[in-house]
Amino acid sequence: MNTRRLFDLTLSASILAGLLGILAQPSHAQEWPARQPIRVLVALTPGSAIDIVSRIVFEQVSRQIGQTIVIENRPGASQTLAAVAAAKADADGYTLLAAGSALAVVPSTMAKLPINVQTDLTAVGLLANVPLVMVVNPAKGYKTIHDFVAAAKAKPGSITYGSGGRGDATHLAAERFRLAAGFEGLYVPFKGAPEVLTEIIAGRLDFYMSAAAPAMPLIAGQTLQALAVASAVRAPALPDLPTTTELGFANADYEFWVGAFAPAATPRALVDRLNAEIVKALATESVRDRLRKVGGSPQPMTAQAFAEQFKREVGVNAALVKAVGLESN
């Protein structure tokens, strides 16, 4: 090897080592290699809980690292359109996925997925838990959730309910409640939360287990009526609204979260740096306040802890999917 070639290789190795050193610095380091904007592919439509939470958190992350972060909504196919795009993107830290807990469901509900969500994506950080709220049109005249269940049982199969995609968190939450309450119904899939809420408001759909984020202003304005919270505990943003468990429906609770992922081959230093920036953003009072206003609870944790939680939920959801007959064929 000639001297010039050896010099070039040594220089390239030094540059690479320097870059990795910068990326591995603690979260107080503000610099980020600014080759291009960072894209966050949001798996649902604008106005959905995943979209709202992602914008709140990544707006702060953008400030912290001094880098532009662009939100791109890629709804469709139960969040897998965005997931596939993220998994196949360059693993350079410039493409992330923002998805909800339904991502842990699709391995059981969708046959022939083009990716394996556990091996083709890597968990970066959990952004927030968002309580699911059972909402109806006030004009339906239900005073309590028990009135609703009585009406549903009186006309088996007549009650309609929807979600932002077959097998997503709001769908499974509705199924858990329906099974716990003991009534039949007709499920109708939609592209995202805004479309389902529109149908509830119009009176064409009977109930929806909505993420609190898009429903909160509608509940406050009495456009929607909230009957219960589907989470295991009461929502801080709706402290007077009881849970389905409190109301006597055992095993009706379902947790909904929003998290960030990256392509599987993303260097560990980048994943850890991004996780540190997310955790830092979640500790910011303005972010916590904004999340609380839409019903969200910040959930800072390490990338490894989030990866372990995701793996557990894939197994738990597989059992639930089988119980309600949603497994892939």
User: To the nearest 10°, the Cα dihedral for 265, 299, 60, 34?
Assistant: -10
CA-to-CA separations, 65 to 27, 178, 248, 291, in angstroms, rounded? 9, 45, 47, 21
Residue 313 contacts residue 101 (beta carbons within 8 Å): yes
> Whose CA is closest to 161, among 202, 209, 218?
209
Please report the pLDDT score of residue 33 as a whole number: 65
Q: Give me the half-sphere count of Cα atoms (radius 13 Å) on the Cβ side of residue 291.
A: 30
Is there a domain that residue 315 lies in? Answer: yes
Is there a domain that residue 244 lies in? Answer: no
Checking phi first, is residue 20 left (phi over 0); if not, alpha (psi -120 to 50) or beta?
alpha
Same domain, 79 and 56: yes
CA-to-CA separations, 311 to 105, 168, 308, in angstroms, rounded? 11, 17, 5
Same domain, 147 and 115: no
Domain boundary (214, 229, 244) is at: 229
Please report the pLDDT score of residue 237 as a whole number: 86
Inter-helix orientation angle 49-65/268-282, to 10°: 100
pLDDT tens string, the chain, 329 residues long: the values are: 443 443 343 333 333 333 333 333 333 444 566 679 999 999 999 988 999 999 999 999 999 999 999 999 999 888 999 999 999 999 999 999 999 999 999 999 988 899 999 999 999 999 999 999 999 999 999 999 999 999 999 999 999 999 987 888 899 999 999 999 999 999 999 878 889 999 999 999 999 999 898 898 999 999 999 999 998 889 888 999 999 999 999 999 988 999 999 999 999 999 999 999 999 999 999 999 999 988 899 999 999 999 999 999 999 889 888 888 888 75
Same domain, 167 and 110: no
Is there a domain that residue 212 lies in? Answer: yes
Please report the pLDDT score of residue 17 as a whole number: 37
Same domain, 102 and 55: yes
* Distance (Å, whole) CA 245 – CA 249: 5
Looking only at the bridges linking them, the beta strands covering 185-189 and 297-298 are unpaired
Is there a domain that residue 21 lies in? Answer: no
Same domain, 262 and 225: no
Number of domains forming the structure of the chain: 2
Q: Which helix (H) or strand (E) holds 176?
A: helix 169-181
* Distance (Å, whole) CA 185 – CA 178: 8
Q: Which pair of tokens denotes residue 238?
A: 């709706």
Residue 279 contacts residue 303 (beta carbons within 8 Å): no
> Whose CA is closest to 283, among 262, 301, 307, 304?
301
Same domain, 163 and 206: yes
Same domain, 136 and 224: yes
Domain that holds residue 48: 33-129+256-323
Q: What is the CATH number of the domain that holds 299?
A: 3.40.190.150
Is there a domain that residue 248 lies in? Answer: no
> Whose CA is closest to 279, among 260, 307, 294, 266?
260
Same domain, 144 and 106: no
Same domain, 185 and 125: no
Is there a domain that residue 12 lies in? Answer: no
Q: What's the burial of 325, exposed, middle or buried (CB within 10 Å: 0-12/13-18/19+)?
A: exposed
Same domain, 73 and 116: yes
Exposed e or buried b for every residue in 175-186, given b needs 16+ CB within 10 A?
bbbbebbebebe
Q: What is the CATH number of the domain that holds 204?
A: 3.40.190.10
